[in-house]
């Protein structure tokens, strides 16, 4: 069983990896803070690169066969909506897609992803309502919930990038997130991934859109590796703002609009639809980002 101090550290890394919004390692470190690997077959080559340093947390499916002091095993999955991952019997993380999240019960730490056009349309509608009416959807203010990959939903790159988080898919391609653009492959150096990241962000700034994610046919494929904002729904509709506390660009911003705290945490709600039933198993919670 993992001790509480180490589990808390792993949870902070998972929160950082999920949201792309705050640092957990030393500033300007020469390795990546958190890496999630979909297929353990890539671990040997990955661990032999400069992506993994003394402060790096690497997570891979259980049974990975690597040194447990270097790789944290988890059960379940992080790359499918409406699924769950767990670390031992102490921490459980649910993943939900944005469109169905209002209808799902929150039993513990939950990650909400924008995974396709329906999710994006609803997210933009909620952002418009937040701007115009100062009203946020319940899922955005539940303390146990984090919205994934905010840099790709209008927050901008910020601290995000290959030095903060990486995802290695089953084919060995590397991105900063599950839905992001490919930045390279296992075996590439951090400098190479960073150069590709910078190039894509420069192109995003110049053209206002990202290159499609591998295999995606969507117009805006949620390419969070680029850190750019999604396009507005119409010429008079502003793109959604960041949940990091910055106000979205607008010629007229309602004074009643108050953005949520970082990572979409908020005050505890009494709504029974977002609280576990009395007989629900106890589940470890997210740690506060600032600690």
- How many other C-beta atoms can be found within 10 angstroms of the C-beta atom of residue 273? 12
- Which of 21-25, 29-33, 88-92, 111-115 has the least mean pLDDT? 21-25
Q: Is beta strand 34-37 parallel, antiparallel or unpaired with respect to 165-168?
A: parallel
Strand partners, 59: 36, 72
Element (H, E) at 94: strand 91-97
* Angle (CA) 22 23 26, round 5°: 165
Q: 117-171, pLDDT tens digit by residue?
A: 999 999 999 999 999 999 999 888 889 999 999 988 888 778 899 999 999 999 9
Residue 160: Cβ-neighbour burial (10 angstroms; 0-12, 13-18, 19+): buried
Closest-CA residue to 155 (of 186, 114, 206, 116): 114
pLDDT digits (tens, 9 = 90+) for 208-227: 433 333 333 233 333 333 33
| Tokens describing residue 177 | 């997130």
């Amino acid at each position: 069983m993992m001790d509480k101090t180490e589990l808390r550290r792993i949870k902070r890394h998972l929160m950082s990896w999920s949201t792309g919004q705050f640092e957990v390692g030393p500033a300007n470190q020469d390795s990546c803070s958190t890496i999630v690997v979909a297929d353990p077959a890539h671990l040997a080559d990955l661990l032999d690169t400069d992506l993994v340093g003394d402060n790096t947390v690497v997570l891979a499916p259980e049974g990975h066969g690597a040194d447990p002091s270097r790789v944290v095993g988890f059960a379940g999955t992080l790359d499918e909506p409406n699924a769950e991952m767990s670390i031992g019997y102490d921490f459980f993380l649910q993943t939900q897609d944005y469109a169905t999240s209002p209808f799902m019960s929150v039993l513990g730490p939950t990650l909400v992803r924008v995974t396709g056009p329906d999710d994006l349309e609803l997210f933009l509608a909620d952002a418009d309502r937040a701007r115009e009416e100062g009203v946020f959807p319940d899922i955005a203010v539940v303390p146990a919930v984090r919205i994934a990959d905010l840099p790709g939903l209008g927050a901008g790159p910020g601290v995000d990038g290959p030095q903060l988080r990486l995802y290695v898919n089953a084919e060995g391609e590397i991105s900063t997130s599950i839905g992001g653009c490919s930045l390279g492959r296992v075996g590439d150096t951090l400098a190479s991934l960073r150069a590709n990241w910078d190039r894509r962000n420069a192109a995003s700034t110049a053209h206002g859109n990202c290159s499609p994610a591998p295999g995606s046919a969507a117009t805006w494929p949620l390419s969070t590796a680029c850190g750019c904002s999604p396009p507005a729904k119409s010429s008079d509709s502003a793109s959604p703002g960041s949940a990091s506390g910055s106000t979205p660009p607008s010629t007229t911003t309602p004074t009643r609009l108050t953005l949520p705290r970082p990572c979409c945490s908020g005050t505890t709600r009494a709504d029974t639809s977002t609280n576990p039933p009395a007989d629900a198993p106890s589940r470890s919670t997210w740690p506060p980002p600032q600690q």
